[in-house]
């Protein structure tokens, strides 16, 4: 028989145990409802295209859309159809061109906008209308001259109207970042009851910190029944005005969002949007977070290059994941560590994002290990005193140049590679200009024999390389062609770097000349000599 004290204690333990079990059960149920699948909503062709000077024509948009499909994007926001005939036509043609992604069209909470969007989406295999309205005090008062209750009514009406055309309706609460959480929850609850399948919570001005934005998503997840019940999902849409777009997006996902709205290279209005490649690689390199995407990460770099080229929007060298320097090492300490074990300073394999390899960049900060490595790659083995002597000369040159090339170090080592080349450029003559077809004549010395060929092309470099290929009958593909910017005047040396693929391997070549066409041909020949 238990004493009164023991009974009391036993009852207390049962209550505590009940509370713990209930809490665990709720967390389990919540986990069940919250899928680990993260949907990637790409808005490069809509929000990204709002950058001045980055507009694409319909053919170019189709190119990007097909690449996004290959990348594994779930939703492509193809445009804002009512904004222009060009956008309207682009949404139609993209709908025809891609198969698997959902095609999304943006509208305001206006019936005409929704009508036009629905018409543009008529060929989409899976269509989505993305409608919404501003919800912050600033938008309500100054943009709409309205009231909070009227905004809710307009939001609900827009969602219901869009549901007449498509089942999949996404609602955006513009400037949600600066909207009171309690009011925002009321708006979102109302549009979910009206049939919204996705609710977009934009930090339109890039104002919120990761903690604040994460708490906002968490509040909505816990206070709007549709999310826990799995009837709708939360979406992030963050801007980079304070450099926090990616951090805010990740905070949103960790607090319940299951769609992220992103762009390639992080392009977008003002300081840009959340970068697709950053989000994808964050969750890939942190499998412990348990978030899965459908992104084929090996397609990231090619997609980045395509968007950069078509939109004439260079990627900053230090851009995470896809920047020129993302996998480049110039510090001597870092280079030594990478050469010993790549994981010392790299958390990602460059091949995971579609980059062939990391780069050991020779600068004044490079050490002997990096110099020896680059010499070895070029067929020169040095050690001991010989390496020390070359290293001292290398430091003198590196103090004068931003970057020391392979050609530079080979000259320092007394191994001028042009002397050892089996194939050499004997002469080059090019005819080009406006209104005439570019024609090139090339003479090569291969061993002790001379070979000549001529060809035409769409420009002097293309013509010269075609003539070169006529002599060198091998399967070769030009993978990259870079001309270093001239900064010292029109008489400065033009420097060309090339990557040529042959038999499954990529070879790097370099050429320098005051004539850029000659430099290009010499770079191509440099690649061939390494086959």
Average pLDDT over residues 442-452: 92
pLDDT (tens digit, 9 = 90+) per residue, 12-69?
544 444 444 444 334 433 444 467 999 999 999 999 988 877 888 999 999 999 999 9
On the CB side of 354, how many CA atoms lie within 13 Å of its CA? 19
Q: For residues 71 and 165, give the distance between their C-alpha atoms in angstroms, rounded to a whole number.
A: 29
pLDDT (tens digit, 9 = 90+) per residue, 277-295?
999 999 999 999 999 999 9
Question: Looking at residue 83, what DSSP letter applies?
Answer: G
CB atoms within 10 A of CB 478: 14
pLDDT (tens digit, 9 = 90+) per residue, 500-523?
998 888 887 878 777 889 989 998
> Which pLDDT value is given to residue 343?
58
> Which pLDDT value is given to residue 22?
41
What residues does 191 pair with on adjacent strands?
A: none
pLDDT over threshold 70, residue 356: no
What residues does 240 pair with on adjacent strands?
A: none
CB atoms within 10 A of CB 522: 22
pLDDT over threshold 80, residue 185: yes
Structure tokens at 473: 């009958």
Do residues 439 and 431 touch, judged by C-beta distance below 8 A? Answer: yes
Most confident residue range from 314-328, 394-408, 410-424, 510-524: 510-524
Give the lowest-confidence range in 309-323, 357-371, 504-518.
357-371
> Which pLDDT value is given to residue 23?
41
Local confidence band at 337 (pLDDT 50, 70, 90 cut-offs): low
Local confidence band at 394 (pLDDT 50, 70, 90 cut-offs): confident
359 alpha-carbon distance from chain centroid: 20
Average pLDDT over residues 85-91: 95
Which residue's structure tokens are 């490595």?
A: 373
Which residue's structure tokens are 């090492």?
A: 329
176 alpha-carbon distance from chain centroid: 25
Average pLDDT over residues 451-456: 95
Counting DSSP H helices and E strands in the chain, the numbers are: 19, 16
Question: What is the side-by-side strand order in the sheet with 449-457?
Answer: 423-431, 438-446, 449-457
> Which pLDDT value is given to residue 351?
80
Average pLDDT over residues 358-372: 68
> Which pLDDT value is given to residue 526?
86
Average pLDDT over residues 368-382: 71
CA 391, 393, 396, 402 dihedral sign is: negative
Average pLDDT over residues 343-364: 65
> Which pLDDT value is given to residue 24?
38
> Which pLDDT value is given to residue 421?
67
Which residue in 172, 171, 170, 162 sits closest to 119, CA to CA? 162
- Measured CA to CA in angstroms, residue 121 lies from 68, 88, 104, 196, 509 at distances of 18, 9, 8, 18, 47
Q: Which CATH number fits domain 31-310: 3.40.47.10, 3.30.43.10, 3.20.20.70, 3.40.50.300?
A: 3.20.20.70
| CA distance from start to end of the chain | 91
Local confidence band at 366 (pLDDT 50, 70, 90 cut-offs): confident
Query: Helix, strand or coil for residue 412?
Result: helix
The domain ranges of the chain are 31-310, 328-417, 421-528
pTM of the model: 0.66
Q: Which CATH number fits domain 421-528: 1.10.443.10, 3.30.160.270, 3.40.50.10490, 3.50.50.60?
A: 3.30.160.270
Helix axes 148-163, 181-193, angle to 10 degrees: 30
135: Cβ–Cβ under 8 A, 6 or more apart, which residues?
151, 155, 173, 174, 175, 176, 179, 183, 184, 187
Q: What are phi and psi of 53, to 5 degrees?
A: 85, 0
pLDDT (tens digit, 9 = 90+) per residue, 108-146?
999 999 999 999 999 999 999 999 999 999 999 999 999
Q: For residues 135 and 328, give the distance between their C-alpha atoms in angstroms, rounded to a whole number.
A: 44
Mean pLDDT, rounded, of the chain: 85
Average pLDDT over residues 433-462: 92
Q: For residues 247 and 528, give the distance between their C-alpha atoms in angstroms, rounded to a whole number.
A: 45
Local confidence band at 327 (pLDDT 50, 70, 90 cut-offs): low
Do residues 95 and 78 touch, judged by C-beta distance below 8 A? Answer: yes
> Which pLDDT value is given to residue 405?
67
pLDDT over threshold 50, residue 447: yes
256 alpha-carbon distance from chain centroid: 23
Average pLDDT over residues 320-330: 69
Q: For residues 327 and 350, give the distance between their C-alpha atoms in angstroms, rounded to a whole number.
A: 7
Which residue in 88, 83, 197, 76 sits closest to 126, CA to CA? 76
pLDDT over threshold 80, residue 488: no
Q: For residues 479 and 506, give the distance between their C-alpha atoms in angstroms, rounded to a whole number.
A: 8
Q: For residues 221 and 223, give the distance between their C-alpha atoms in angstroms, rounded to a whole number.
A: 6
Local confidence band at 391 (pLDDT 50, 70, 90 cut-offs): confident
Helix (H) or strand (E) segment spanning residue 522: helix 516-528
> Which pLDDT value is given to residue 529?
87
Do residues 439 and 455 touch, judged by C-beta distance below 8 A? Answer: yes
pLDDT over threshold 80, residue 461: yes
Helix (H) or strand (E) segment spanning residue 134: strand 127-134
pLDDT (tens digit, 9 = 90+) per residue, 189-232?
999 999 999 999 999 999 999 999 999 999 999 999 999 999 99
Local confidence band at 310 (pLDDT 50, 70, 90 cut-offs): confident
pLDDT over threshold 50, residue 333: no
**What is the percent of the chain with per-residue pLDDT over 90, rounded to a whole number?**
58
287: Cβ–Cβ under 8 A, 6 or more apart, which residues?
none
Most confident residue range from 51-55, 233-237, 489-493: 233-237
Structure tokens at 368: 């002997």
> Which pLDDT value is given to residue 30?
42
């Amino acid at each position: 028989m238990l004493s009164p004290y023991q009974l009391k204690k036993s009852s207390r333990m049962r209550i505590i145990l009940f509370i713990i079990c209930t809490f665990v059960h709720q967390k389990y149920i919540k986990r069940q409802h919250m899928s680990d699948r993260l949907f990637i909503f790409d808005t490069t062709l809509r929000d990204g295209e709002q950058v001045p000077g980055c507009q694409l024509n319909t053919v170019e948009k189709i190119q990007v859309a097909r690449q996004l499909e290959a990348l594994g994007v779930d939703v492509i926001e193809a445009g804002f159809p009512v904004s222009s005939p060009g956008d309207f036509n682009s949404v139609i043609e993209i709908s025809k061109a891609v198969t698997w992604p959902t095609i999304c069209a943006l509208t305001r909470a206006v019936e005409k906008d929704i009508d036009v969007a629905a018409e543009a989406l008529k060929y989409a295999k899976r269509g989505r209308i993305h409608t919404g309205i501003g919800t912050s005090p600033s938008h309500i008062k100054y943009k709409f001259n309205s009231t909070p209750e009227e905004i809710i009514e307009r939001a609900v009406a827009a969602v219901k109207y869009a549901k007449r055309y498509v089942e999949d309706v996404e609602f955006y609460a513009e400037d949600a970042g600066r909207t009171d959480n309690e009011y925002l929850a009321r708006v979102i609850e109302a549009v979910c009851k009206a049939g919204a399948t996705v609710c977009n919570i934009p930090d339109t001005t890039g104002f919120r910190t990761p903690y604040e934005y994460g708490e906002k998503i968490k509040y909505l997840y816990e206070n709007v029944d549709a999310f826990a019940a799995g009837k709708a999902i939360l979406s992030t849409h963050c801007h980079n005005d304070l450099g926090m777009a990616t951090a805010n997006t990740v905070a949103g996902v960790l607090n319940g969002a299951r769609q992220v709205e992103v762009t390639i290279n992080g392009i977008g209005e003002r300081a840009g949007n959340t970068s697709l490649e950053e989000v994808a690689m964050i969750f890939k390199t942190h499998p412990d977070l348990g978030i899965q995407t459908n992104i084929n990460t090996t397609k990231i770099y090619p997609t980045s290059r395509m968007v950069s080229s078509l939109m004439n929007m260079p990627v900053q060298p230090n851009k995470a994941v896809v920047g020129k320097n993302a996998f480049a090492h110039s510090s001597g300490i870092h280079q030594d560590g990478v050469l010993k074990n790549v994981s010392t300073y790299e958390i990602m394999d460059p091949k995971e994002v579609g980059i062939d390899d990391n780069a050991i960049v020779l600068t004044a900060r490079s050490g002997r290990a990096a110099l020896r490595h680059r010499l070895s790659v070029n067929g020169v083995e040095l050690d001991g005193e010989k390496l020390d002597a070359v290293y001292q000369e290398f430091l003198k040159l590196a103090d004068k140049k931003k970057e020391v090339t392979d050609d530079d170090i080979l000259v320092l080592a007394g191994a001028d590679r042009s002397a050892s080349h089996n194939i050499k450029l004997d002469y080059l003559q090019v005819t080009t200009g406006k209104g005439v077809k570019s024609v090139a004549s090339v003479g090569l010395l291969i061993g002790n024999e001379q070979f000549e060929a001529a060809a035409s092309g769409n420009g002097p470099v293309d013509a010269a390389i075609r003539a070169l290929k006529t002599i060198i009958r091998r399967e070769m593909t030009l993978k990259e062609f870079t001309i270093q910017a001239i900064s010292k005047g029109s008489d400065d040396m033009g420097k060309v770097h090339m990557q040529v693929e042959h038999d499954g391997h990529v070879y790097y070549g370099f050429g320098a000349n005051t004539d850029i066409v000659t430099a290009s041909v010499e770079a191509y020949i440099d690649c061939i000599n390494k086959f």
